[in-house]
Amino acid sequence: MRGVLIEAFGELPRVTDVPDPQCPDDGVVVRVAATGVCRSDWHAWQGHDPDVELPHVPGHELVGTVVAAGRAVRRWRVGDLVTVPFVCACGRCSACRAGEHQVCEQQTQPGFTHWGSFAELVALRHADVNLVAVPEGMTPAVAASLGCRFATAYRALGVHARVAAGDAVAVHGCGGVGLSAVMIAAAAGARVVAVDPSPAARAAACELGAMVTLDPAGLTPEEVAATVVDAADGPVAASLDALGHPDTAVASVLGLRRRGRHVQVGLLLAEHARTALPMDRIVAWELEIYGSHGMAAHEYPAMLARVASGELDPARLLGRVVGLDEAPAALAEVGTARHPRMTVVAP
């Protein structure tokens, strides 16, 4: 098969022939119809993820057709159109038994722990636990957007931020997950303040329901937080760092009201892995601090129902669709923020 192969961290990958994946006994092989280009893939390419071993095929936001199923698979068969969370849970550990598949103790992640979906075929483990049927009428490009950034934003806002109608919510960083968060929070009736230095990203946030957008360029985290508070007519109830940077994390915390909720969605890796937060404020104001690591497959039906009803429209998040030969350049462009909306690769 053809795939995008990373042979050295930070060097542009190449499209080449790579071995077909083997089908796990409890898993499937999927022929990839579409796969998103995500900032997490960019981190893998940069060498920020310790699970990634070279040579490596990235990619984890995927949809495709089952072409092989392992002998232990019971719920899926060849020909099924499926998507999958980026965390493939084992279904057996203590976290999984509690229903918390997104923090599975034995998790695998396509594009990180093993070769991913920037290829014609991808293997997925523990199929009966992790696969999600793509609803009839949903295009592969839209389905590919659900598995990481949209589902992650959905759970971050619903479970951790607990956004309600009338809440003021700040979203720091308006890439894929940030724009998803803007749409989902606005649909819940929240007053959304979106923060991003890119004019294109701020324009997209406005189109998706942001009440106001702010440019943080040249400002300290403290100044950004003060600007958010002014724009929201007071400190916000909940705030997301959807980028993953020390400055956005600190600004997110400092913009909160007393007993407000900060959700860290953007990855803080490499030199940012031990980012300091303003603990004096966190303690004195009894702030809630959460990490958010995707969403389990069994939680998808509620999200898909809201998509089917028209309340949420992830198709509005889509940007370019490119071929496999264009995927290496698309991956490199993630670091430039040239395309705030989602880029999809169609192998």
Query: Quick check: pTM over 0.85?
Result: yes
pLDDT band of 338, cuts 50, 70, 90: low
* pLDDT digits 0-9 by tens, 37-93: 988 899 899 998 888 999 999 999 999 999 999 999 999 999 999 999 999 999 999
- Computed over every residue of the chain, the mean pLDDT equals 94
In angstroms, the CA 74 to CA 68 distance is 13
Judged by phi (left if over 0) then psi (alpha if -120 to 50, else beta), residue 10 lies in left
* pLDDT digits 0-9 by tens, 5-53: 999 999 999 999 999 999 999 999 999 999 999 888 998 999 988 889 9
In angstroms, the CA 130 to CA 298 distance is 8
2-144+313-345 and 149-291: identical CATH topology: no
pLDDT band of 214, cuts 50, 70, 90: very high
What are the Cα distances from residue 42, in Å, to 58, 92, 201, 335?
Answer: 9, 31, 18, 7
User: Domain segments of the chain: what residues?
Assistant: 2-144+313-345, 149-291
Task: Specify the CATH number of the domain 2-144+313-345.
Answer: 3.90.180.10
Task: Specify the CATH number of the domain 149-291.
Answer: 3.40.50.720
Count the Cβ atoms, other than its own, within 10 Å of residue 305. 12
In this prediction, residues 185-207 reach a mean pLDDT of: 96
| CB-neighbour burial class of residue 158 (10 A; exposed 0-12, middle 13-18, buried 19+) | middle
What are the Cα distances from residue 25, in Å, to 18, 28, 59, 132, 204?
Answer: 22, 8, 22, 18, 43
**Rounded to the nearest 10 degrees, how much is the dihedral formed by the CA atoms of 173, 174, 177, 181?**
100
DSSP 8-state secondary structure symbol assigned to residue 86: S
Bridge pairing between strands 342-345 and 318-322 = parallel
In angstroms, the CA 167 to CA 220 distance is 25
pLDDT, position 339: 66
pLDDT, position 269: 81
pLDDT, position 51: 86
Contact present, 27 and 126 (Cβ < 8 Å): yes
